[in-house]
Amino acid sequence: MGYTILFSYYEIVGEEARLIDEYRLPSSQQKESLETLLRQQNYEFIGNVDLWGIRTNKFMSIAEIINNGRENIS
């Protein structure tokens, strides 16, 4: 069973965040390996089981680890 990391990039304008781009990165690695990869890229766990994030003054990136066996595409 594989996973996909859904990266969502936002521009921060004042108090609002505007979605700039989304990218899906499919992977056959174990979830723990993907979490290690995100930590190495300075992403921080943000409280949900599979959500990670990184933020600067002007940009924010959210990474969601999705189990391909239960993925919901909207």
Per-residue pLDDT of 19-56, as tens digits, reads: 999 999 999 999 999 999 999 999 999 977 899 999 99
What's the mean per-residue pLDDT of the chain? Answer: 91
Q: Say yes or no to pLDDT of 72 above 60.
A: no
Total-model pTM: 0.83
* Cα dihedral 60/66/68/70 (nearest 10): -130
DSSP 3-state assignment of 14?
coil
